[in-house]
Amino acid sequence: MGRRSTHTPEELRELILRAARDIIERGGLSGLSAREVARRIGYSPGTLYNIFENLDDLVLHVEGRLLEELEQELTALPREESAEALLRRLARTYLAYTHRQPKLWNLLFEHHLPPSRPVPAWYQQRIEALLTRIEEALAPIMGDRDAAALKRSARVLWAGVHGITSLSTTDKLSTITTEAAQLLVDDLVSTYILGLSQRPAAAPLATSPHAALEAGELRDESSST
Amino acid sequence: MGRRSTHTPEELRELILRAARDIIERGGLSGLSAREVARRIGYSPGTLYNIFENLDDLVLHVEGRLLEELEQELTALPREESAEALLRRLARTYLAYTHRQPKLWNLLFEHHLPPSRPVPAWYQQRIEALLTRIEEALAPIMGDRDAAALKRSARVLWAGVHGITSLSTTDKLSTITTEAAQLLVDDLVSTYILGLSQRPAAAPLATSPHAALEAGELRDESSST
DNA sequence: ACCTGAACACCGTTCAAGT
DNA sequence: ACCTGAACACCGTTCAAGT
C-alpha cells in the first residue's frame, strides 16, 4: 500500500479519463464503473476519488472533452460560399462527429446529474461556445433581426440536429443509416432557413403580419384549453 | 415461501409497472432497481422474473405505456382551423406532456437496449403511430409532394421537437422554463412550415429550380471534402 | 502525500427448494 | 404453479492504515 507515484497526478487524470472514455465508447454509459476503470489502469478504486469527486464528476469531464473536440472541428471548417452552405456544413460535421462514436456522444444526453447539483459553469460555457458558432453562421441570414431571434434560431437548429442524431443513433426513428439521417439534417437546415428568409426583417415587430398572426393564435390557444 | 396468489398475474404485472413508473418519475432511471420494485410491492426480487424477462424488458413496457398515453392525447385533440394551427397544437401537446413528467419522458431517450437485441416490433409500431399523427397533420401543407417528402418532414419535425424537449428538460440548452421551450417549439414549427410552403409542389422534380439547387449543392459538397 | 483494500450498503439475475 | 430467498458476481464510496 501507500504511495507509488509512478504517475504524476496529471498523468493519472489522463489515464482515468482515457480509460473511462474507452469503456463508454465500447459499452455505453451502463458499462462504466469506477472499479472497472481502476482495474484497467492498475490502481485501486479508491484512487479515483483522490482525483475526481465521484463517478458523475468523472463522466462530466469525459463529456467536456467531447464538446471541446467537436468545437475544434467546427472551428476548423473551411470557408463556404454562402451562409446556407456553411450552416449545412456545420450540421453535417456535427452529424458525422456523432456517428463516428455514437455511444460516446449519446453520453451527453443519457447522463444526468442528480437535480441537487446543477451543471457546472464550465460545462455550460462549452455548450454556449458551440451555440455561438451557429449564431455566427446564422447572422448573415437573419439580417437585422433582433438578437433574441438569432439566439432562438441557433437553438432551434442545434436542438433539431441533436434530435435527429439522437433518435437515429438510438434507432428510435427507423432511420438507421447515416445517409438517411443526413437527408433529414439537410432537410431541416434548408427548409428552416428558407422559412427564415421569408420572415419580415426586423421592422416594427408588433405590427408585422407575422407578429399579428402569432398573437392571434396564442389567444386561440388559451381560450380553447 | 411458495405461492401466495393474493394477486393474479395481471394484477401483479400492473403492480410492477406502476411501481417502476413511480420510482422513475421520482428518481429517474438510475433510481430504478428490481429489488426496489420488489420491496415496494411486497414480493421477492425473483417474482419480477416470472413476469418480465429482465429489467430492460420491464423498462421497455413502461416506455410503451408512455407512448400509448401520448398518442391518446394527440388523437383526442380538438379540430383546428388550419393545418398549421393543428401542427402547432400537436407540438405543444407533446411538449406539455413531456414537461408534466420530465424524468419519465427522458426514459425514452436515456434507456438503451444492449445492441444485441433490437427494439421489439410493438415498440417500433407505437412510434410509427405517433409519426402517422404528424404525417396526417402535415399532408394538407405538403400538397401533392411525394410520400417520401411527407415522411421526411414528419420525422424532421418530430426529431426537432424532441431535441428541444430533451435538451430543455435536461437543462443543456440554457432554456430552463417550459415557456422558453415553447417559444422554440413554436419557432421551429412556424418557420419550418413557412419554408415548406415556399418549396415547389411536386411537378417534374428534376427540373424544378429547387431540385437543381440541391443537386448543385451536393456536387459542391463532395468536391470540397 | 499518496495509495490501498477492507468494509458497508447496495445491485441484477438464477434456481433449488418449498407450499 | 407460483413464489421464495439464498447465492453468485457484481456495484459506488469511504476511510483507517500503511509507506
Upper half-sphere CA count for residue B63 (Cβ side, 13 Å):
25
Tell me: the pLDDT tens digits for B133-154? Answer: 999 999 999 987 889 999 999 9
Chain-chain contact of A221 with B28 (C-beta, under 8 angstroms): no
Chain-chain contact of A155 with B194 (C-beta, under 8 angstroms): no
Phi, psi angle pair for A197, to nearest 5°: -65, -15
Helices (H), B42-177: 45-51, 55-75, 83-100, 102-110, 121-142, 147-169
How distant is C1' of D18 from CA of A5, in Å? 15
Instruction: Say what the pLDDT of residue A206 is.
Output: 38
Find which of B70, B95, B191, B221 to mutate to test the A interface (most A CBs within 10 Å of its CB).
Answer: B191
C-alpha closest to that of B93 among B52, B133, B62: B133
Helices (H), chain A: 9-27, 34-41, 45-51, 55-75, 83-100, 102-110, 121-142, 147-169, 178-198, 209-224
Chain-chain contact of B199 with A194 (C-beta, under 8 angstroms): yes
Nucleic strand C within 7 A of Cβ A148: no
C-alpha closest to that of A20 among A60, A50, A70, A53: A60
Confidence (pTM) = 0.83
Query: Which residues are within 8 A (CB) of A131 and not within 5 positions of it... i.e. 6 or more apart?
Result: A151, A154, A155, A158
CB-closest option in B30, B170, B192 to A192: B192
Position with higher pLDDT, A176 vs B178: B178
**Is residue B124 within 8 Å of residue B131, measured between CB atoms?**
no
Which bases of chain C come closer than 7 Å to a protein CB?
1-7, 10-19
CB-closest option in B108, B159, B187 to A163: B159
**Is residue A122 within 8 Å of residue A181, measured between CB atoms?**
no
Residue B200 DSSP one-character state = P
Tell me: the pLDDT tens digits for B38-55? Answer: 999 999 999 999 999 999
Q: What is the mean pLDDT of chain A?
A: 84
What is the percent of chain A where pLDDT is above 90?
Answer: 60
Residue range B57-74: mean pLDDT, rounded: 96
Tell me: the pLDDT tens digits for A35-82? Answer: 999 999 999 999 999 999 999 999 999 999 999 999 999 999 999 999
Lowest mean pLDDT among A51-60, A82-91, A103-112: A103-112
Q: State which protein residues have CB closer than 7 Å to strand D.
A: A 1-3, 32-36, 45-46, 49, 54-56; B 1-5, 7, 9, 12, 43-47, 50
What residue has cell string 398572426? A213
Q: What is the 3-state secondary structure (H, E, C) of B73-103?
A: HHHCCCCCCCHHHHHHHHHHHHHHHHHHCHH
Q: What is the mean pLDDT of chain B?
A: 84
Does residue A21 have a pLDDT over 60?
yes
| CA max distance for chain A | 75
CB-closest option in A159, A194, A224 to B163: A159
- Which set of grid coordinates corresponds to residue B25? 418519475
Does residue B211 have a pLDDT over 80?
no
Nucleic strand C within 7 A of Cβ B116: no
